Structure 1
Amino acid sequence: MKNLSFSILLFIVAFLLSGENQAQTDFRKGYIITTERDTIQGLIDYQSEIKNCKICVFKNDMDTQPLSLSPEDILAYRYNNEKLYVRKEINNDSITKLVFIEFIVNGIIDLFFYADISGSFYFIEEGNGTLNYLKIENKIASNLNNKNKNYYFNFKEYIGILKIVFKDNPELYPLIEHTKLNHQSLVKLLNKYHNINRSKENYELYVKKIQIVKIGLSLFTSLNSNKINVYEGKFDVPYEKEYYPTFGITADVMFPKFSNNFSLQLSGDIGKQITIIHIKKIIIIQI
């Protein structure tokens, strides 16, 4: 049986093209700040959080070759009206390294975000330049209830650090107790702090809300062709070549919070196929 469907062929082509697009870069308008504090406008590859904290891929325009810039090469870079990354030396679990760190809140107290293959991390900086690492530490409690077992629990060390940083505003302590280590919760805390201290004029938020999942819908139609040949012994059963339309919908599911170069495409269609068969009567005469 031979079954040729144009819709399947189109799906395969679309899949291959989407795979090619996913491998491509996503350059957006932005600028870099050199070690001489010069600002250079251009295009910056919009990468994942981990890659953005490691390297900046920059080019002057679409016709030039991109440059891979490390924290040793530039002071900062930013996508226009979006994320800002600055060069900083961080101490993460007793490991000191020079990295790009995302600048989330710029104010009396600053908030930063960093990500690598081991996880995501937040840092808060006071006016004196002290960079505090906000973390949850896994602790072990042994021999609880006189049982020879080790129990693991999460010690929210960052809660204590936040209370020290905001010690001049104890009215924030109830909010700190419910603060979680994510963008939304920490920005909410710093926003309230700057409102209390009436310092909104010195407050700038460098991030915008990014959807976790974004879905785009589109309709499509296709014309399908089928031709079937069935052979039975010495005789073949002829079927007419047939055409029939299908109608469908495609859902393009994107995950902008994690990557702008990855998407999942789902599609479904419906159509009606009618098969027409011609049967010939064969008379055998014996002599």
Structure 2
Amino acid sequence: MITVLRAGPLTTVQDLGRPGFAHLGVPRSGALDVPALTRANRLVGNPVDAAGLEITLMGCKLRFEAAATVALTGAPAVVKVDKEVVEGPVVAVPAGAVLEVGRATRGLRSYLAVAGGIAVEPVLGSRSTDTLSGLGPERLADGMTLPIGPDVHEPAADPGTDEQPPGGELVLGLRLGPRDDWFEVAGLFTQTYEISPMSNRVGARLAGTALTRTQAGELPSEGVVLGAVQVPANGQPIIFLADHPTTGGYPVIGVVDDVTPLAQARPGTTVRFRELD
């Protein structure tokens, strides 16, 4: 059992999500940085789909009521056990000890896997917290307790280091459509944007020169997918992430082929689009 002493601004339980339910209005959700969570699970001997913690920027503090093995991946941070700095990524935590994950030194999201996995009750086959729909466990709060499953696997060899969080310009591949004819699209590939502080697990909001509409009017609600770039009335694109809605009324100008780099991109990061065939 884990007792949450300090939850941080946004710490959630995440696994690989709940794909296959979009027709019911349920998005995939799951870890934003899937490679980081997968690596953490392998380091402690969990199946890759085991649930861990996604910790946003400011860290968290947890007390382990029983001895456990944990791994921290994704955004690097100082890790302490009973106020003593420990080297990772794999850490042995004694029974009754307090584990503290500090502020991320680069990137945005750290991932903590515990041998046995976070064993909260699954919803539609996943233990992921969906911050938009409210499905899955609640986001962590001070005083909350989390169950740990049985540790029955052997740790795997370290599958490698995490990719470095983006520090400069982030170039995202984008395929135009289905509503690119509603805009003057040339500017989308010639200008740069910055990630807005208003971004979250639902979407990365971009700030830059507003896109110009070529068609007036409104659309009926349409289905949207992971990576869809929706353009609301203010002309500032939004890239949908893991907790995105399944339908939307604003036109979608294109779809980003891989949103994983956005998981570690802090507000202010420069973004540019590259057109894909």
TM-score band (shorter)?
under 0.3
TM-score (norm 2): 0.22
- Structure number with the bigger relative contact order (C-alpha 8 A, sep ≥ 6) is 2
TM-score (norm 1): 0.21
Higher helix share: 1
Higher strand share: 1
